[in-house]
Amino acid sequence: MITKLSHATLYVRDQDKAYDVYVNKLGFHVKTDMKMDNGFRWLTVAPPAQPDIEIVLAEPNPPMFEPELGKHVRALLDANAMGGGVWETDNAQKTYEELKAKGIQFTKPPTQEFYGIEALFQDGCGNWFSRTEHPKG
């Protein structure tokens, strides 16, 4: 029986840049950072309030992708067309100001929506996300 999702993958153009963004700017914790014998780097991070999920920051290279398929994923990353997840925050405006000061690019400032206060941002690695403060109560 499946009990939970332990890992989810985000494809990135460059793992070193992704490390900087996710750890130094977004404040995630490194769970694993190691190179395998074949040169493949296994890099996982987790949001501080959700340590039981590991987000794999992976370049679309072998052994996960054949070179020809990896080119297609890279094209999507180059267009900032990957990602599309939602990160929760307790204070959308404060988080927006903190992340913007760290160089995170926002495509939508905090805006009141029917589901909460949402800001959209790009990670600089090919992905975009919603950062949402859900209504209290």
State the Cα–Cα distance between residues 121 and 97, nearest whole angstrom.
Answer: 12
What SS3 class is residue 35?
Answer: strand
pLDDT tens string 12-21: 999 999 999 9
Model confidence pTM above 0.85: yes
Q: Where are the domains of the chain?
A: 7-133
- Give the pLDDT band of residue 64 (cuts 50, 70, 90): confident
Q: Per-residue pLDDT for 91 more than 80?
A: yes
Residue pair 82/127 in contact (Cβ under 8 Å)? The answer is: yes
Transcribe 89-136 into DSSP letters: -S-HHHHHHHHHHTTPEEEEEEEEETTEEEEEEE-SSSEEEEEEEPPP
State the Cα–Cα distance between residues 93 and 88, nearest whole angstrom.
Answer: 12
DSSP code at position 38: T
- Nearest Cα residue to 31 out of 61, 2, 7: 7
Residue pair 28/20 in contact (Cβ under 8 Å)? The answer is: no
**Residue 51: per-residue pLDDT:** 93
**Mean per-residue pLDDT for 30-40?**
92
Superfamily, domain 7-133:
2,3-Dihydroxybiphenyl 1,2-Dioxygenase, domain 1 (3.10.180.10)
**Residue 53: per-residue pLDDT:** 96
**Mean per-residue pLDDT for 89-109?**
97
